[in-house]
Amino acid sequence: MKSIKLEINGVQHEVEVAPWRTLLEVIREELQMTGTKEGCGLGECGACSVLMDGKTVNSCLVLAAEANGKRITTIEGLAQAERLHPIQQSFIDNGGFQCGFCTPGMIMSTKVMLDDNPNPTDDEIKKGISGNLCRCTGYAKIFDSIRAAKVAMAASSDGRGGA
């Protein structure tokens, strides 16, 4: 067992982990934050996407020990109290999900995309979420949601969806 420190959504955690435990397992099982989903467990579906030091990772492929000392953001860290992040609101308003299982990962990938490039073209939007599988929507309404989110974020005071 190894003791690691993780900052998740601004909160410091110290956990004892076996060397083979993944970041996803630690988030879901040790810390009981189940917003991040496990689809394939092999890095193919993107449902487990979280931010690690500002970059998207498939948390099922990251060993917990590798995340030691890193800053992690999960879907639970996006809304500020009752106020949804503009990406979250946009996915609701534009029908950007159906069953909702891929949604936490999809929204995290969208956040990184829009943080890196606040004004993506339609092609860049498609590429930005190409690591996230959705079986329900056929993606069209996800594209609509991201296009609307980029407008909403540009209109926010800090240009990143902040208050």
Nearer to other proteins, 133 or 154 (CB): 133
Give me the least distance between CB of 38 and other proteins, in Å please. Answer: 7
Cα dist from 20 to 16, 44, 71, whole Å? 12, 19, 20
We find the least distance from the C-beta atom of residue 80 to other proteins, in angstroms, to be: 11
Q: Smaller CB distance to other proteins: residue 126 or 160? A: 126
Please check whether residue 94 is in contact with residue 53, taking contact to mean a CB–CB distance below 8 angstroms. Answer: no
CB closer to other proteins out of 62 and 90: 90
Q: How far is the CB of 4 from other proteins (least distance, A)?
A: 18
Helix axes 140-155, 103-116, angle to 10 degrees: 50
Which lies closer to other proteins via its Cβ, residue 29 or residue 69? 29
CB of 88 to other proteins, least distance (A): 4
SS3 of 34-72: the string is: CCCCCCCCCCCCCCCEEEECCEEEECCCCEHHHHCCCEE
- Where on the chain is the footprint of other proteins (CB under 8 A)? 20, 28, 32-42, 44-45, 47, 74-76, 78-79, 84, 88-89, 91-95, 97-104, 107, 125-127, 129-130, 132-143
- Closest to 47 in 3D by CA, of 18, 14, 79, 24: 24
